Structure 1
Amino acid sequence: MRRLIIVIFYSLFCLTLQPAWAQQAQATAPAIPNRGVLFKAEQGGNTLYLFGTIHVGSPDFYPLEPRITEALTQASVLALEIDPLADQKRMLNAVRKYGVYAPGSGPASAQLSPAARARLERALRKYGIPPEAAAPLKPWMLTSALTIAEFGSQGYQPILAVDAWLSKQARARRLKVEELESVEGQMSLFGRLSDAEQLRMLEEDLQSIEDEKYAGEARELMDAWSSANPAALDAVARKLSNDATFSGKFMKKVLLEERNPQLADGIAKLLAREKLSVAAIGALHLIGWENVPDLLRRRGIAVERIY
């Protein structure tokens, strides 16, 4: 489950630095099934719809089902982890600070073992990523790029991410969009990793590509989310919780458990302030151990799972 890193941690660099090798698509108007996971939180006469997103997408995801779109029509605020349509300069600066080598440094491949370097070369060829595009990326960012490339090969693109679609809908309705986190804060989590830890993360994922686990895990996650299948989503969360790799532990402890209390705090404050609001965060923040709905319930907030 370590390639979930890019799906749970919002990789804004793909929306701001959309590479030439990633195909782009335009949304169409398909059927409207349930997607992801949806909760309703209530306290003091106020209501908040809490939707679990995925940070990639495909045209057939949209529009989202009526309970989401109608809530957006009536709400006063949409809260996202990060607004992908916000200040692009701020996002680019964070990418340069945390995800890209300074001129004259790198590339990551120079620090890999010969076997891992060969795996990286094969992975870049597999996904059609030019070596010169990969060279400036730090190992954790290169790991993210490979993960996005796998999702892209299956038809899912960051430019069609659910968060971006929601932000666009909110802006069309002149609905206020708030951020529960900052791009600087999110990317600084990876900035904590030493060079050795980043290389370990990259090497683990390169091995998974060779073992063909990458593609299967991507399909598993997307199938669970796109069908709003609670059992399948819970199975993904359990697999992540049991992942004993370095990447899996970092994902669980830092990217989920460490962030969930902050997300819950922001959502609770939004619920206390607004009569009707919508918050949309990565789906795996809403299931599994120490999830956001459970943290809200501990605050005395009534939380109901709709699907």
Structure 2
Amino acid sequence: MTILRHWRRLCSAALAALLGGAAGLANAQNCPPALPAPNPALLSQPPAQAPDRGLLWQLEKDGRTAWLYASIHIGRPDWLVPGMRLQAALAASDTVALELDLTDPQVMQALAGPVPGRPALTLPADLQTRLQAVARRECTDLAPLAALHPMLQLGQLVAQSARRDGMSVEYGQELALIVQAQRRGLRLAGLETPQGQLQALIPADRKAALEEIREGLRQLESPQLRQQTRRLTEAWAAGDLNTLERYETWCDCVKTAADRAALKRTLDDRNPGMADGIVKLHGQGRRLLVAVGALHMTGEASLLQALRARGFTVTQRWPEPR
């Protein structure tokens, strides 16, 4: 099997489970063009001097070293090629640990199924109308996603909106690292359970869920969303931790106490559990490369702080601190 065909199969399996089946793009004049496939030669043999993107830390504990990479869940086709420092971290590792192991069929099945503790939510007519209007604008058929919680449908529309700027979840770092791990014969591991991650993304309280959906639609209806997504991804690509640290000040997404609670639930509250997962794998003698979303590296309750609290020495290796 060619590496490009393997990447496509990974994309299809991941998207089908995460999104309940790929949402079709309408054949309309204002729809974004299809994104190009990655260069299979660059995936199979990344250039030794490929540019570095994201951020990379070295972790040390008990006389052994691990690596922590700040990933991003959407990207551009050329971002699938690992930079030279990430290649070195892959070469020094025997296990790649992600938030979830998307190659595990049980994980994928759980992502596509009902969320424990989160009952089905039927949107009021006004929110459903707005959701459908955004879907039409983003050339997305919501019918294949009907079984998913509206919060997850909303997330799909955010991902679709990025296609207008040449980005997609297919080019996120998770799939890029899975391709590289499997090409190099490395083991894959997950730091979270799919049920736990979905519970973090979806509020248990119906009123809170509706408030978050209403706020998410407001952002999708605003022309500023694409600008904010570009700023986030460009900061990641440049390794600009300062801009990522100030995310709340420019994202137009933290306006109320409810917004702050949602951000805490989806980021800060997950960091201790992921840190415990890293401790467990490190304690098993694994030579780890860990990749977790970049915003988990920010704030006083960041994953970096959680790892320091568990005895790791954490040293930034890329970009090199000034």
TM-score by length of 2: 0.79
Amino acid of the structure 2 residue aligned with 1:175:
L
Matched, 1:210 2:221: yes
After TM superposition, give the deviation of residue 49 of structure 1 in Å: 0.7
Q: Which amino acid aligns with 1:49?
A: W
Give me the whole-angstrom Cα distance separating, in 1, the residues matched to 2:245 and 2:199: 28
CA distance in 2, matches of 1:254, 1:26: 35
For residue 302 of structure 1, what is the amino acid of its counterpart? Answer: T
State the SS of the aligned residue for 1:51: strand
Deviation at 1:26, TM superposition (A): 2.2
Describe the superposition over 1:23-79 as per-residue Cα deviations: whole angstroms up to 9, x where unpaired: 564223487322121111112220011001011122111311112112212312111
Q: Tell me the amino acid that sits aligned with residue 114 of structure 2.
A: K
Which residue of the other structure, out of 232, 235, 241, is the alignment partner of 2:246? Answer: 235
Per the normalisation by structure 1, the TM-score is 0.83
Aligned-pair identity (%): 25
The structural deviation recorded for 1:134 is 5.1
> Are residue 51 (structure 1) and residue 69 (structure 2) matched?
yes
Matching residue's letter, 1:178: A
8 Å Cα contact 2:121/2:206 also seen in 1: no
1:112 CA drift (Å):
3.8
Residue 183 of structure 2 corresponds to which residue in structure 1? 172
| Inter-CA distance 18–120: structure 2 relative to 1 (3 Å threshold) | closer
Which one of 147, 150, 154 corresponds to residue 143 of structure 1? Answer: 154
Does structure 1 residue 92 correspond to structure 2 residue 103? Answer: no
Q: 271-280 or 141-150: which moved more?
A: 271-280
Q: How many angstroms apart in 1 are the aligned matches of 2:204 and 2:16?
A: 19
RMSD (Å) for aligned C-alpha atoms: 3.0
Tell me: CA distance 1:48–1:251, structure 2 relative to 1, closer, same or farther (3 Å). farther
- 1:121-171 per-residue CA deviation (whole Å, 9 max, x = no partner) reads 331221011253454442211221111111222222112220111112111
Residue 23 (structure 2) aligned to one of 14, 19, 23 = 19
Residue deviations 1:236-283 (CA, integer Å, cap 9, x gap): 255569813466324422111111011111212333333632111111
The amino acid across from 1:249 in the alignment is R
Q: What is the distance in 1 between the residues matched to 2:136 and 2:167?
A: 19
Q: 1:43 to 1:289 in 2, by over 3 A?
A: same
Residue 63 of structure 1 corresponds to which residue in structure 2?
81
Tell me if the contact between 1:224 and 1:230 (Cα under 8 Å) persists in the aligned partners. Answer: yes
Q: Is the 8 A contact 2:97 2:290 kept in 1?
A: yes
How far 1:230 moved relative to its partner?
A: 2.3
**Match among 287, 293, 307 for residue 282 of structure 1:** 293
Query: Higher RCO, 1 or 2 (CA under 8 Å, sep at least 6)?
Result: 1
User: What CA distance in whole angstroms lies between the structure 2 residues aligned with 1:106 and 1:266?
Assistant: 31
Q: Deviations over 1:265-303 (max 9, x none)?
A: 121233333363211111111122211111222233211
Tell me which moved more, 134-143 or 195-204. Answer: 134-143
Superposition map of 1:1-307 within 5 A: 13-14=17-18, 17-21=21-25, 23=34, 25-28=36-39, 29=42, 32-87=50-105, 90-98=107-115, 108=123, 111-113=124-126, 116-133=127-144, 135-236=146-247, 239=250, 243-245=254-256, 248-274=259-285, 276-306=287-317, 307=319
* Amino acid across the alignment from 1:40: Q
Paired residues of 2:272 and 2:306 also in contact (CA < 8 A): yes
Name the count of aligned residue pairs: 290
Whole-Å separation in 1 of the counterparts to 2:18 and 2:235: 23
Contact 1:107/1:136 (8 A) holds in 2: no
CA 230–167 in structure 1, closer or farther in 2 if over 3 Å, else same: same
CA-CA distance at 1:19 after TM superposition: 2.4
Take 2:53 and 2:198, find their aligned partners in 1: how far apart are those partners?
27
